[in-house]
Every structure is written in C-alpha cells, then in structure tokens.
Chain A
C-alpha cells in the first residue's frame, strides 16, 4: 500500500502499565476511510490502542504517524481531527443541546451551530424538539450514549473511534448508533475504529477485524482466535475446557497461555454427530447468525459452542444442503492439527 494512503502508521509501539506490557504492535498501516474492528478479550489492549491513536496517551516507545506527520506529544491540530467515544456514557451538566454543541464551541465554530447540532441529534435517532432542551439527568443510559455519539458526529472528524459503544445500551439505542456510524462513514469518508466484543456486529460494519490478545494483533479477518489456558490431554494433545463438558483439543502449544488460530474454512459442519471420523474436535453448537462472505459463493456462519463463538465459512451450496438457519443445532468438527499458534 502506498504510504500516502495510510491515515495512521504505527511502528514498534509498546505500552506498559506498572511494568506489565499491555500493547506491542510492531508495524501497522491503517488506510484512509476504512472501517477497522478490534476484537479480543478484556485486557487484550484494544482500549490502549485506541487511546494511543486518539493521542490521549503517549506510548512507552515507538512512533505514530498521522497523515504522514509524526506525532510528538499533544498536538491540538491533530487531536481536533480525531475523536473517541468512550465505553461509558458521560455528559456535562448541561442540556443535551449544549453537550452536543460543546466541541464546536471550543473550536470557535458558531456558523450553523443549531442546524449542525440538530442534524447530529437526528442522526442518532433523537428528535431535537423532544431532546435538545433536556437536562443531562433526564436521559436513559442508551439515550445518554447516543448524545455522546452525537457530540462526536457533529465534529465531522476524520477519524472516529468507538470503544465498546453498544456495551451498556439498550437494543434500540444500539441499532440507532450502528446506523449513525455507518452514515458518517458514507457522508464524510470518516475512518472508523470500533473495539467491541460483539463480533457479529463488527463483521457487519467493518472492513477488517484485528483480533487482539495480550497486547498483540494475533490475526485479522475471520480467523477464530482461541485463547488458553491449555492443559495436557490424551495422546500428547492439549485441551481447553469450554465449561459445558465439551473441550477444544489441539496440538501441543508453546506455553499453556498460547493463542490458537483456527481458519474458518478448516471447520466442517454436520447436522448429525459423525460416528467414525479422525477429527478430534466434535463440538455441539447452535447457529447464531449467517452473513454473506466477501466471496459471493461463500456463507459465513457464527456458531455458539458453550460460551465460545466459532466463525466458519462454507459454500452456499453446503449451506443450502444443510438447510442452515440461525437457531439450528449442528456439530462443529475440526482436527487438532488445524490450529496454528501465535
């Protein structure tokens, strides 16, 4: 990729809190206008990565380039182009209108202020006539988070980052926020970064999902990232319990906390439990969601097995043969040797 296409370039970024490494990114380029997802368990470094890219935190070492300009500490001109929506809604003790207008006012923008604020409120599904004059305490949690999102959208940022934006909101608010995020990207070619546990949503709204684990990007795309702890099982193989009596069986990891990567095309789906098969992993699950894959001949299935969500890619023909639909009970089958290690 041409360097000029990168809105962000990160080199050897390391961050540590209290002597513990929380982020280690050797090199990454983020293309302008792309929608990037970050997934991974708590403590995997998603929020730290967002804060560094939002210029709220300085990494311990490494270099951050924004639009080909090296970032050195606090640079107001750069920070005005980037905004981050935090996980928990937080409003100033002002009316909804004043909360949304705050960012514009501190930038000295007064032209069309009312129109811009009202437009931002409408884009998150809040009618200005009903909400603009409400006070900060007259909103539900979901409405408050939508006001927070509106206060970022009104700035028309070059980069919009969202840290678990729908984690603490109601279903309706989540839907409205997702629509608003999609709309700003379309209208202003905003580059998006979304950290979320909601893989299904991430896959819908992002071009690529970086899977993070212990501060590192361990994969991108639809790979299944399976974290430990692993323990020795039969025949020299290792296993991870899934909590419902089932377990994932893999080849020997480097250490018991290693991360296994499982290609979604390595998974076989069956309606019946196979009687004779060499694969060590035969896990019972339920189809949660089906998406079109980037290849029009393929279908992406999200399958819940105990508390773990597998992604697998099968052909459209196979999906029709299985009569695959969300809610269908199926068997997930793969070999212990199908995993690779990070």
Chain B
C-alpha cells in the first residue's frame, strides 16, 4: 500500500510544481477534446434534433443505427479512422495521422452518436402539450423548433457532458491515431497507460487526479449553467 500513498504525494508535487511533462499531456487532452467536442456538438445537436423532432419513414431504422453506434469500441473507431487517414487511406493527404486534429476527428466519430442519440431522446421526451401551446401562442416552424430545443436544454447539456466524458476518457483512439508521442500527441489517458506500465505511479495518479478534476469541473459548470438558466 505504501507505493500508492507515495504515488499520491508525488502526484501532488508534480501538479503543484508545474511539471512540464504532466501539463503537456493535460493540454494535449484539452486541445483534442475541445476540438472534438466543438465539431460533435455542431453536427450532433442539429442531427439529434431532426431525428427526435420529425417523423419520417426510416426513422426507426435511423434510430437503431445511431443507438448501435453508441457501443462502438474505441479501438474499432481507431482502426477505421487509422485506415482512412493513413498515407494509403483516402484521406491520407490531409496528414492527420499522429496529430492532435487526427485524434479529434476520431473522437468525433466516437461521440457524435452519443450527442445525436441523447439529443433525440431529449426532444422526443418533451411534453406533448408543448407544440400545441406554442401554436396557440402564434409560434410556427422555426420558432417552434427553436423553442423546443430550448425547452430540452438541460437534457442536451447532459448529452454534451456525457459525450465530453467519453472523449476525455478514451485510450484506444488517442493511442492508435495519436501514437502517444511525447510533447506532441500524448494525452492524459495514454500517459497513464504508459507510466503505469513503467511502474511510474506518481505521474499516473497525478494525471488521473486531473482527469477526475476535469470531469468534476465540467459537471459543476453544468449545474451552475442550469441554475442560471432556470
């Protein structure tokens, strides 16, 4: 047990002393996850809204596909994206392999289905009386759509938080697409895996603490936002 408590003490020292290697992994993680989340929310929320709001013939099938994609293993996503962005792949010319934007693109593939599915569920779960009431107040088309999205805002925010949690905690994609290159594409999760393998618990625990702190910070920000928009 001694090495765990020693690991904690060393971790706190690494964080408080501003250890460059530790913070490099933290910033890479933040950069990749911010990029992937921006893209995922921009694409996922409108698609989720369309899927939840409108009735169309293949809706059930579309929903089944999206729900299936929720269970995509990160290594499978890594494998597929690797195949596409490697030199021989159709997107090889973009030079995304072993880059942070490359990690972000693969993370988008992972989390867009989460955003779509949870947004669609939030829209479908809106009170059926909402639309009728908006119509009686004179709203139509775009106004009804935007108000409906606004009414589902907490559930959509929760979808974003869930997606963010998935993006910052995945290992497979960052390892395969990023290559775990020190100072360059090493993220918190790949660093933890590497350092633990080397028996360096201190940095692993330090990065683990940062990961937990990030999750807490995002949820705390969400609850503050919820209180403010109530």
Contacts and interface: CB of A to CB of B under 8 A. Distances in A.
Instruction: Give the residue among B129, B138, B140 with the most A Cβ atoms within 10 A.
Output: B138
Contacts of A152: 136-137
A103 B132 contact: no
Q: How large is the interface on A (under 10, 10 to 19, 20 to 34, 35 or more residues)?
A: 20 to 34
B127 interface: yes
Given A88-B129, A90-B130, A102 B137 contact: yes
A93 interface: yes
A106 B139 CA distance: 7
A135 B230 contact: yes
Given A86-B132, A93-B151, A106 B127 contact: no
Nearest to B143: A106
Interface in A133-163: 135, 148, 151-152, 155
Interface in B134-158: 135-140, 143, 147, 150-151, 153
Interface stretch (A10-18, A62-70, A76-84): A76-84
A56 B135 contact: yes
A86 B136 contact: yes
Contacts of B140: 74, 76, 79
B200 interface: no
Given A90-B127, A106-B143, A83 B151 contact: no
B96 to A, nearest CB: 41
Contacts of B136: 54, 56, 83-86, 152
B196 interface: no
A80 B138 contact: yes
Interface string B18-51: 0000000000000000000000000000000000
Contacts of A155: 137-138
B150 to A, nearest CB: 8
A66 to B, nearest CB: 15
A107 interface: yes
A175 interface: no
A86 B133 contact: yes
A94 B117 CA distance: 25
The main secondary structure of chain B at its interface with chain A is helix
Given A106-B143, A135-B230, A90 B138 contact: no
Interface in A221-269: none
Instruction: Give the residue among A74, A85, A93, A152 with the most B Cβ atoms within 10 A.
Output: A93
A60 interface: no
A79 B138 contact: yes
B143 to A, nearest CB: 5
Nearest to A95: B230
A54 B78 CA distance: 55
A92 interface: yes
Instruction: Give the residue among B130, B147, B230 with the most A Cβ atoms within 10 A.
Output: B230
A54 B133 CA distance: 12
Nearest to A88: B129
A240 B127 CA distance: 41
Contacts of B143: 106
B204 to A, nearest CB: 43
A135 B229 CA distance: 10
B132 A56 contact: yes
A114 B129 CA distance: 27
Contacts of A93: 150-151, 153, 230
A174 to B, nearest CB: 20
Contacts of A76: 138, 140
A151 B138 CA distance: 11
A80 B138 CA distance: 5
Contacts of A102: 137, 139, 147
Contacts of A148: 133
A243 B127 CA distance: 38
Nearest to B139: A106
A103 B135 contact: no
Given A92-B147, A103-B137, 19 more contacts: A54-B136, A56-B132, A56-B136, A76-B138, A76-B140, A79-B140, A80-B138, A86-B133, A92-B130, A93-B153, A102-B137, A106-B139, A106-B143, A107-B138, A135-B230, A148-B133, A151-B137, A152-B137, A155-B138
* 7 A-B pairs with least C-beta separation: A103-B137, A84-B136, A90-B129, A90-B133, A80-B138, A106-B143, A106-B139
Interface of B: 127, 129-130, 132-133, 135-140, 143, 147, 150-151, 153, 230
Interface of A: 54, 56, 74, 76, 79-80, 83-86, 88, 90, 92-93, 102-103, 106-107, 135, 148, 151-152, 155
26 contacts: A56-B132, A56-B135, A56-B136, A76-B138, A79-B135, A79-B138, A80-B138, A84-B136, A86-B132, A86-B133, A88-B129, A90-B127, A90-B130, A92-B147, A93-B150, A93-B151, A102-B137, A102-B147, A103-B137, A103-B139, A106-B137, A106-B138, A106-B139, A106-B143, A152-B136, A155-B138
